[in-house]
Amino acid sequence: FDQLNGEIWYDGTFVPWADAKLHVLSHGLHYASSVFEGERAYGGEVFKLNEHTERLHTSAEILGFTIPWSVEEINDATRTLLTRMNLVDAYVRPIAWRGSEMMGVAAQANSIHMAIAAWEWPSYFKPEERLKGIRLDMATYRRPDPATAPSRSKAAGLYMICTLSKHEAERKGFADALMLDWRGQVAEATGANVFFVKDGKLHTPTPDCFLDGITRRTVMGLARKRGIEVVERAIMPEEMEGFEQCFLTGTAAEVTPVSEIGPYTFQVGDLTKALMEDYTAEVTPKASAKVAAAE
């Protein structure tokens, strides 16, 4: 990171980027008691900031701790950070974790810490890759049963299998990997949700063991606005044979077309392209949209 002149909001104050450190005995590091968000600012405004901050609070509650800053305080801190850092199009990473007072599985007495970092952010997948569609590997690891892990929390611990899957995919020359769930049903990519198109309808897995992404819900709304039916259901991997188009959704991925998953191939079709455009229009702050239209 080349942000040496930047700042990070850390436990209620702004500290120089290089000074935002934590103790090596932090519970969050040893036992993954940490939750985070991935947000994106467009034209200086974080898209759906409040939903992200609320999800952060909920993720912490699911892991059994309460973030000692309110949703409103976190929202304000995020906005101030962007202003102080002069960021317009940026990625924002809030994170909360259990501190270092007690070392052991139990950590009820540990203080809760929080930080928010932000930096300028180009596209997650390279633009030229995006238009031809990205290629996905089939992941070795599966999304766990909700009875095995708190799958509705955006908890750091759940990303261990995502990093392993993404690394394996990249080693083999793929952009990302599609993960199945513990039942063998299609779940999601390592940091994004998945949609398929067939006969003019959208099909997407029911989010019962993975994140019901904010982008996922946004895109479902945009599709319905166009009169497109959205079917949430269990999808078996063999069904991918019959799907015509496929795309990923996520704060970082936005709407990213997929051309290939294992043996299955997909077209970057009109419906996918239309939703890419609708999403771009949706995230663009209305004031800048007006300025752009007037120019």
Burial 34-52 (b: 16+ CB within 10 A, else e): bbbbbbbbbbbbbbbbebb
Site string for ligand PMP, 131-170 (x = CB under 6 A): -------------------------------x--------
Under rule CB under 6 A, residue 216 binds ligand PMP: yes
Query: Which of 6, 94, 250, 257 forms a contact with ligand PMP (CB under 6 A)?
Result: 250
Whether 154 is catalytic is: yes
3-state DSSP of 126-153: CHHHHHHCEEEEECCCCECCCCCCCCCC
> What is the x/- site pattern for ligand PMP, positions 13-42, by CB under 6 A?
-------------------------x----
Half-sphere exposure of 153 (CA within 13 A, CB side): 24
Q: Which of 34, 59, 193, 259 touches ligand PMP (CB under 6 A)?
A: 193
CA 147/CA 208 separation, integer angstroms: 11
Q: In the block, which residue shows the tokens 């052991």?
A: 104
**Tokens at residue 195, please?**
């949609």
Tell me the per-residue interface mask from 172 to 191 with ligand PMP, x by CB under 6 A, - otherwise: ----------------x--x
- Binding to ligand PMP (CB under 6 A) within 37-76 occurs at 38
Question: For the chain, first and last CA: distance in Å?
Answer: 35
Task: List Cβ neighbours of 151 (8 Å cut-off, separation of 6 or more).
Answer: 143, 144, 145, 158, 209, 210, 211
Q: Is there binding between residue 251 and ligand PMP (CB under 6 A)?
A: yes
> By C-beta, is 54 or 101 nearer to ligand PMP?
54
Nearer to ligand PMP, 249 or 256 (CB): 249
| Number of amino acids touching ligand PMP (CB under 6 A) | 15
Closest to ligand PMP by CB, 65 or 279? 279
Residue 202 CA to residue 206 CA, distance in Å, equals 12
Q: Are 189 and 163 in contact (CB under 8 A)?
A: no
Q: How far is the CB of 140 from ligand PMP (least distance, A)?
A: 16
Binding residues (CB under 6 A) for ligand PMP: these are: 38, 162, 188, 191-193, 210-211, 213-216, 249-251
Catalytic positions, please? 154
